[in-house]
Amino acid sequence: MQTIFALATARGKSGVAVLRISGPEAHEVARRLSGDLPGPGRFALRALRDAAGAVLDEALVLRFDAPRSFTGEDTVELQTHGSIAVIRAVEAAIAATGLARMAEPGEFTRRALLNGNLDLAQVEGLSDLIAAETEGQRRQAQSLFTGAMRDFVEDTRRDLLRAAALIEATIDFADEEVPVDVSPEVGALINGVIAAIDGQLSGFDGAEKLRAGFEVAIVGPPNAGKSTLLNRIAGREIAITSEIAGTTRDILEVRVDLQGLPVTFLDMAGLRESEDRLEQIGVARARERAAAADLRILLQDGTAQGAPFEPGLEIDLTYRTKADLTGEGVSGLTGDGVDRILSDVADRLAGRVTEGTVASHDRHRQAMQTARGALELAERAFTAGEGAEIIAYHLRDGLAALDSLIGRVDVEAVLGEIFAQFCIGK
């Protein structure tokens, strides 16, 4: 096992930079730079020197001993001043020991996974947490990172294990004093787990959107005030977290943190028939993008006469604009009613996020669907009065699928459940 190191904070000027060294030689590497080390789990201020003895920086040295570290290995963290030159010099001194190499991206986390400090879902949670930009995302990622998926699997697994044990007991201990008719409990257990999975699956879309971000399309006829509104949204006191140039030059995106939800507003070409080839393409793209968005806001030009504009799209919220001219509706120019738009949008989107949904990655959805499929077959075999061995077969499939979310299935676990509950043995 090689010792690895990397800068754990962002590269560039900052107050403090953290360099992490992990692996069997981590302590030795640090010792070569700092002299002696503080005790396990402690820190100390040390001068870092290169091989020639020249001082590189004064740093806080933090020592962790396996397995009590993030990676589960011996680890040292060096908190240096956040200077580009200092970091470069310290990195060079570490590499010069010949005992450690530069870590590959994600390698510290991979080691944490291999050493069992994190399960697979926790790794996903950690990566979400690092990417989180809003409070909603942070809460979601934090829950996955702290083991919410493991809790879900353990809860459902306990019920399925109990169901499997009941069934297996009637098979393997037929001439023992085990309950003969286990059907009411087995049925209830299987259906309970199916319901729990359904809860996760129905919340999945919202949770996945919360993780990846919602899109809200602002549509309307040309000159209805769409860009004005977008500018107003961008200029308000909601944090703009990124401004991405549209994939097509006609679509403009503004990403904001809306009451904790990551929302990208899309400003697009006015929807109208046109002779202009270029505009036709823009309109077609706008329709496509708007249709795929999570929410569509239609802006009607408050000053327009005649019949209201027909966008040819399903619309979620409609507002009349140019209140500054007409005295009613909303105005991107003055900001009148924009708060209402934002809170309407936030309400609609928040309604799609179910509290307690852990399934937020496609991998989670697929495993849960596989489990559900197997449990449905078990339930069907059960209702049709098929053999216990057939029900057990499907239950085992379901357990394996759930376990793939974090771990693996084990026949000893089923037998353990049986022995804990029934008096087996003549």
Interface residues with other proteins (CB under 8 A) are 1-2, 72, 110-111, 113-116, 168, 170-175, 177, 384-390, 392-393, 396, 408, 410-412, 414-415, 419, 423-426
Q: Which letter does DSSP use for residue 211 in this model?
A: H
Buried b (16+ CB within 10 A) or exposed e, 389-416: ebbbebbbbbbebbbbbbeebeeeebee
C-alpha 218/C-alpha 266 separation (Å) is: 6
C-alpha 197/C-alpha 184 separation (Å) is: 20
- Contact status, residue 93 vs residue 57, Cβ threshold 8 Å: no
- Contact status, residue 258 vs residue 347, Cβ threshold 8 Å: no
Non-local CB neighbours of 239 within 8 Å, separated by 6+ positions: 256, 257
Q: Residue 30, exposed/middle/buried by CB under 10 A (0-12, 13-18, 19+)?
A: buried
- Phi/psi of residue 218, each to 5°? -100, 110
Which one, of 114, 126, 123, 120, lies nearest residue 22 by Cα? 114
Minimum gap (Å) between residue 365 Cβ and other proteins: 19
Q: Which is nearer to other proteins, 308 or 387 (CB)?
A: 387
Show the tokens assigned to 321: 């604009």
